[in-house]
Chains A and B, each alone.
Chain A
Amino acid sequence: DVKVTQSSRYLVKRTGEKVFLECVQDMDHENMFWYRQDPGLGLRLIYFSYDVKMKEKGDIPEGYSVSREKKERFSLILESASTNQTSMYLCASSAGTGVYEQYFGPGTRLTVT
């Protein structure tokens, strides 16, 4: 079974802190994604990566950066957390560029106070 794991289920940080959200997948997938999910807005894509050291902006990249140094790991970085970044963050991975399903992690609920 494909497994996508995220470093924390719940996280509380203060405004201005630097925040790292880690995601690891164990299926040697090329593609990895970071989404945020907010009530009434569905899932919105922040960044994605289709190869090591490659990254592409999604729909809402402002205030975020990412890092992919190894194929299995994709990190989302909030350089200076703000209260409007309080959200559920979901990581996903998929194989190749064809019609492949995305596998999601359980999510990290981040609260910025």
Chain B
Amino acid sequence: DAKTTQPNSMESNEEEPVHLPCNHSTISGTDYIHWYRQLPSQGPEYVIHGLTSNVNNRMASLAIAEDRKSSTLILHRATLRDAAVYYCILRDVSTGANNLFFGTGTRLTVIP
């Protein structure tokens, strides 16, 4: 699977929007972009995924660049419970394998 690059850490003020960037310049046409997050002392949890179009769900929005070489996870109003490590992951569905490659992610700190 192609690799992703994320900042090691970011800070946000509570109740403000947060934009978490991810670069994936070697993305292939069959790579889906997944985001997971890991709250302290818990296993990772799924946040959102997309292929080409922007996606919204109850947790977040995913904005995908037109050339697909980068994407941004948007939390519309950060809360203290959003403090976590956020992982941007590419998964090539053409391989049939369902394993994910987790990098080291971005640690988000939310300031009250």
- Residue interface mask A30-47, B partner, CB < 8 A = 1: 010101000011111100
The CA-CA distance from A85 to B42 in the complex, in Å, is: 20
Stretch at the interface among B15-23, B67-75, B76-84, B100-108: B100-108
- Residue interface mask B86-112, A partner, CB < 8 A = 1: 010001010011111111110000000
Q: B46–A102 contact, CB under 8 A? A: yes
The CA-CA distance from A100 to B42 in the complex, in Å, is: 20
Q: A92–B43 contact, CB under 8 A? A: yes
- Residue interface mask A89-100, B partner, CB < 8 A = 1: 010101011111
The CA-CA distance from A36 to B84 in the complex, in Å, is: 18
Q: B96–A101 contact, CB under 8 A? A: no
Evaluate whether A33 and B99 lie within 8 angstroms (CB atoms) in the complex, with A40-B104, A105-B43 already known.
yes
Q: A31–B44 contact, CB under 8 A? A: no
- Residue interface mask B27-48, A partner, CB < 8 A = 1: 0000010101000011111100
Q: B102–A35 contact, CB under 8 A? A: yes
Please name all residues of chain A whose beta carbon is closer than 8 Å to the beta carbon of B104 when the two chains form the complex: 40-42
Q: B45–A104 contact, CB under 8 A? A: yes
What residue of chain B has the Cβ atom nearest to residue A99's Cβ?
B32
Q: A45–B99 contact, CB under 8 A? A: yes
Please name all residues of chain A whose beta carbon is closer than 8 Å to the beta carbon of B103 when the two chains form the complex: 42
Q: Which A residues fall within an 8 A CB radius of B? A: 4, 31, 33, 35, 40-45, 48, 50, 56, 58, 90, 92, 94, 96-107
Nearest first, the 10 closest Cβ-Cβ pairs linking A and B are: A104-B43, A101-B46, A43-B102, A42-B104, A42-B102, A31-B98, A104-B44, A90-B43, A97-B96, A99-B32
A31-B98, A107-B43 are known; give 16 further A-B pairs, CB within 8 A. Answer: A33-B99, A42-B87, A42-B102, A42-B104, A48-B99, A50-B98, A90-B44, A92-B44, A94-B98, A97-B98, A102-B44, A103-B45, A104-B42, A106-B41, A106-B42, A107-B42
